[in-house]
Structure 1
């Protein structure tokens, strides 16, 4: 479960950092938004290294599913747009894939 919490924090940090750049480029916000955005992206990268998996590629692949679900939560909570059924179905498929990557029994 600790890995899922790490993925959640990483997703929030990555989305917040990317949204900071989005806000400057697309919404005309002050360039000062890039300071916390950059710090947030650095936090994201560091937090993701804390996942206890043997291979980085597997950690990143599983994170992708969590990122997609977190992005839709951001869409709803921050941007005020409720995800539709296709968003929810797609996120569910991605989370199922992430769970398979994380929890599949493996022989090393």
Structure 2
């Protein structure tokens, strides 16, 4: 469940931020803000579904998932092929997120 919440949150956050980007940087209509705000609210809600004891740890691990999703957005939505540095950086961040999530904790 947590993986789906993280992936959904990343897509919702990127879509919401992109709506603002489109409005401010691509001269799109202000109506782009409506789905953007709704998408950002969905992002916040989805992060609450992650099964973790502490919000800070959830947000820290989410950062790695967000970076991978942002590189995928770059490729799929914006049509820019990620280079080896994009892919390497995203992989390093995902490993860091896994360490945060799955590292042994004292009972």
TM-score range, shorter chain: over 0.9
Aligned to 1:5: 4
Cα deviation for residue 3 of structure 1 reads: 1.0
TM-score by length of 1: 0.98
Give the distance between the partners of 1:22 and 1:8, measured in 2 at CA: 21
Aligned to 1:70: 69
TM-score by length of 2: 0.98
Unaligned runs of 5+ in 1: none
Unaligned runs of 5+ in 2: none
Moved over 3 A (4+): none
Aligned to 1:88: 87
Give the distance between the partners of 2:22 and 2:51, measured in 1 at CA: 33
Structure 2 residue 17 is matched with structure 1 residue 18: yes
Aligned to 1:30: 29
**How many residue pairs are counted as aligned between the two chains?**
107
Q: Secondary structure at the match of 1:86?
A: helix
